[in-house]
Structure 1
């Protein structure tokens, strides 16, 4: 009866330690590519590995990926986190390991610290990044060390980060302005923009796109400035109340960020059902607001498509620095079935 080869036999043939063989066969990091090749060849030659097992292990190890998402009351980002965690529960050695963490949304130092901390385990990090010097600095450091840093939803530091995955946000802002202007059907008055924060480039780009198309096509609609609600439903509620009270001629609101339910609450309390309301992110709350007529349109990027594209952008073999996700526009009449 043939004797089953042992890991010791593989180590002796490859002339490496038993610990090195263990690291290679379990696809752990920290082993040079040449040594990996020697160990796998020895394992095949000694019969420790079958041809199929050898082929599986010889493929490049899938990257360890961490998603860093902002915490808070933004339902769309919560939905995005659910999608990532569902994938994380399904991953195997062949598909790689995925982890997801929620961090302080508007704190660049917290994001920089999280990037540095999670890079100890991760080969790639996908994050909704703040466009801030502290974040750019640590990103440059990680990319220099061979890590991939992929921005999702909101871009930052194109000269530094590895790739961006998300909407063309200036186009999204222009689309929101076009919809709002057309829905106003020749009315005159003021329009307001509520954003999460200008520290997110996505919100700045959406605001710029909105303002520029308003000036081009709808001069009878006058923007009244931008409020920052930090994607918090209670802040958005207070801002919306203030805007409605200060501008009785307000005919429309564009929420360039998240947590639209706070704005909807203010509209209901002031009895302003005629006010056109455009927002982002199809989630259970915005779906409900479309159905009851409080919101008129929702601009969306499919979370499954965004997560899948981000994972591909995290792979070392990924090409291209910008991966634009298809923009969907949902009205009450074309909502997808759940």
Structure 2
């Protein structure tokens, strides 16, 4: 039984005598199977503890690659910088590669450059397309862990996903809107930044399914490819309001909420219920002022901690727990804004 520990340390960990542990290690007769299993478990636990000691004070350089509006990437940057302090003395140094618009080919080139240059891990928010999944596979084959953030790439061999259950978020939005209208006819404008993002697609699937099953009198008009940018999103909303006189609610899957509200105001239309995502500074202001009614929020800082644990696990062979756990979706109103954001 190979190991690198003193007999007395194994005995202490296993709760056995040193003589018993010695008999197990040297495979002498007269040892019960249960005792042998206790010794093996003690060695595994000591190995985990040793691995944990070895990463104390270690530095990890990671790359965060994201296509998203500035208001979201600003929040992401803050989360990585603040949560890195909670892992001290282990140090995470983050290199941020953010853009509001990135073509898939540009993302692939960036990921390949990072792979050739070297990194301890890549955190990725990108469209779910084949060429990006292939770039993720090249990173993983090179021994570089990739953790998808907020929106997943389920067909890519990534190390982990950190984020919310997006389908459950869409179902929650449908419930909030459906209960507001209590069986009365209504039409919801569902806004996606882009159909290329798997997370937004999952939200939309959950939303549609729940409306169809529980609130069949509510219709949906979908707009997409505004990329969360105010100018493009505003133009799409204006066109939708002109074409559909019955729109009286919004499920904002992809952001650009000030532009959405501005388009309603310019058209002299009322939005009876507005459900948005993410507690960024803009949405907080709109929530406090009553211009949006609900924000579906998940703890981005918890996602960042999941990222760090996943990278530590891959780079240091430390067994980590809870990597696959999805963030809980919270319904935030003006009356239960988290204390840290008030």
Name the TM tier (shorter chain): 0.7 to 0.9
Equivalent position to 1:84, from 44, 56, 80: 80
Range that drifts further, 141-150 or 111-120: 111-120
Q: In angstroms, what is the RMSD of aligned CA positions? A: 2.5
Between the aligned partners of 2:161 and 2:90, the Cα distance in structure 1 is: 25
* Matching residue of 1:247: 244
| 1:307 aligns to 2:298 (yes or no) | no
Match among 51, 69, 90 for residue 66 of structure 2:
69
Gaps of 5+ in 2: 1-51
Alignment TM-score, normalising by the size of structure 2: 0.75
Give the alignment of 1:1-338 within 5 angstroms: 61-73=58-70, 75-86=71-82, 94-103=90-99, 105-119=101-115, 120-315=117-312, 316=314, 317=318, 318=320, 322-337=324-339, 338=342
Q: Following the alignment from structure 1 to structure 2, what is the Cα–Cα distance between the partners of residues 90 and 127? A: 22
Deviates more, 1:101-110 or 1:170-179: 101-110
Report the counterpart of residue 40 of structure 2 in structure 1: none
State the Cα distance separating 1:135 from its structure 2 match: 0.7
Q: Are the aligned partners of 1:65 and 1:123 in contact in 2 as well (CA < 8 Å)?
A: yes
The normalised TM-score by structure 1 is: 0.76
In the alignment, what sits opposite 1:15? Answer: none
- Bigger CA drift: 101-110 or 186-195? 101-110
Offset of residue 207 of structure 1: 0.7
SS in 2 for 1:333: coil
**Deviation at 1:248?**
1.5
Cα shift at 1:106: 4.3
How far is 1:215 from its partner?
A: 0.3
**Aligned equivalents of 1:92, 1:319: Cα separation in 2:** 19
Which range moved further: 127-136 or 264-273? 264-273
CA distance in 1 between counterparts of 2:292 and 2:236 reads 17
Structure 2 CA distance, aligned partners of 1:79 and 1:286?
A: 12
1:82-141: CA deviations, max 9, x gaps?
Answer: 322455699877323222221354421121112122232311101112211111111111
Larger deviation, residues 63-72 vs 123-132? 63-72
Corresponding residue pairs, total: 283
